[in-house]
């Protein structure tokens, strides 16, 4: 029995980049990958411009709320992707850590968030291809 990979997205406020990344991964990978997101200093709400930018591509993240980064969340994840949270993420042996350098969408309008959203989508597509290389074959058996 194989267990599905799990990914944790971490940014400071868990209100923009990590929420968009989690939204894309959930939408594009379906049940193939377990998705979590958290922040080292979570904001009060998800960035409205991030919600609007994701809605433009058919993904609703309006029901999400920023969550505090916990040691348990890191420990339960196979891949931890940080987005500008610096050294606040706990390190566990055996985890794959990646740092995605992306502009912070905080305080920006939807026009400025769109290119960040598009960069995140491209990285998510690469991540899915790496973690679940046979996902497209499994969905469309010959």
Closest CA to 64 of 14, 7, 128: 14
Tell me which of 10, 89, 116, 120 is the catalytic residue: 89
CB 61, CB 19: distance < 8 Å = yes
Give the per-residue pLDDT at 3.
82
Pick the catalytic residue: 7, 8, 10, 11? Answer: 11
Q: What tens digit of pLDDT does each residue of 66-99 get?
A: 999 999 999 999 999 999 766 666 678 889 999 9
Q: How many residues are present in the chain?
A: 142
Lowest mean pLDDT among 15-19, 37-41, 83-87: 83-87
Q: What angle do CA 87, 49, 117 make, to 5 degrees?
A: 65
pTM: 0.90
8-12, 115-119, 130-134: which is most confident: 115-119
Strand order in the sheet with 96-99: 34-39, 6-11, 79-82, 96-99
What is the spatial distance between Cα 19 and Cα 58, in angstroms, rounded to a whole number? 15
Tell me the per-residue pLDDT of 60-73, one tens digit each, with 9 for 90 and over.
999 999 999 999 99
What are the structure tokens assigned to 55, written together? 């809605």
């Amino acid at each position: 029995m194989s267990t599905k990979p799990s990914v944790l997205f971490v940014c400071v406020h868990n209100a923009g980049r990590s929420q968009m990344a989690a939204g894309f991964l959930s939408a594009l990978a379906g049940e193939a990958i377990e998705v979590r997101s958290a922040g080292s200093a979570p904001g009060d709400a998800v960035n409205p411009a991030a919600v609007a930018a994701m809605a433009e591509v058919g993904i609703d993240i309006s029901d999400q709320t920023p969550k505090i980064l916990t040691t348990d969340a890191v420990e339960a994840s196979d891949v931890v992707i940080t987005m500008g949270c610096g050294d606040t993420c706990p390190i566990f042996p055996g985890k794959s850590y990646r740092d995605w350098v992306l502009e912070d969408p905080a305080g920006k309008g939807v026009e400025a968030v769109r290119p960040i959203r598009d960069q995140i989508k491209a990285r998510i597509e690469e991540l899915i291809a790496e973690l679940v290389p046979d996902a497209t074959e499994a969905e469309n058996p010959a």
